[in-house]
């Protein structure tokens, strides 16, 4: 069974640009969550999508947005990039997002803003 696939693996962007990251969950999983990981803050929750609806949102500015498609694939977008947005962005999928919650993570997208 294929795991969570994130593309691209690496990105270099210039401050002020925008970026879109993609996540394909494990087949049959309907919940997709996004996390930002930095050395200083660790793993921080961005948002969760379930059946194409945003169900939970973390404490990040509105420049961070996401969406989920009918096949459960998800994208996150960051507009007006800042140097502080440089991080490893991780996507996690789980069967339902509630009850027995076991999140499986992808390899992440390493975003560098210069």
Q: Which residues of this chain interact with other proteins, rule CB under 8 A?
A: 4, 6, 31, 33, 35, 42-45, 48, 50, 55-56, 58, 90, 92, 97-98, 100-108, 110
CA–CA gap between residue 104 and residue 94 (Å, rounded): 6
The 8-class DSSP code of residue 1 comes to -
**DSSP secondary structure string, 6-30?**
EE-SEEEE-TT--EEEEEEPPTT--
Q: How far is the CB of 31 from other proteins (least distance, A)?
A: 7
Residue number with CB closer to other proteins (21 or 103)? 103
Residue number with CB closer to other proteins (69 or 101)? 101
């Amino acid at each position: 069974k294929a795991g969570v696939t994130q593309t691209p693996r690496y990105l270099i962007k210039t401050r002020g640009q925008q970026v879109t990251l993609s996540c394909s969950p494990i087949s049959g999983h309907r919940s997709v969550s996004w996390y930002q990981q930095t050395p200083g803050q660790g793993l921080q929750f961005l948002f969760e999508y379930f059946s194409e609806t945003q169900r939970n949102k973390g404490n990040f500015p509105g420049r961070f947005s996401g969406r989920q498609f009918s096949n459960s694939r998800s994208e996150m977008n960051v507009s007006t990039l800042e140097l502080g947005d440089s991080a490893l962005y991780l996507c996690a999928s789980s069967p339902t997002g509630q009850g027995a919650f076991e999140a499986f993570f992808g390899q992440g997208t390493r975003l560098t803003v210069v």
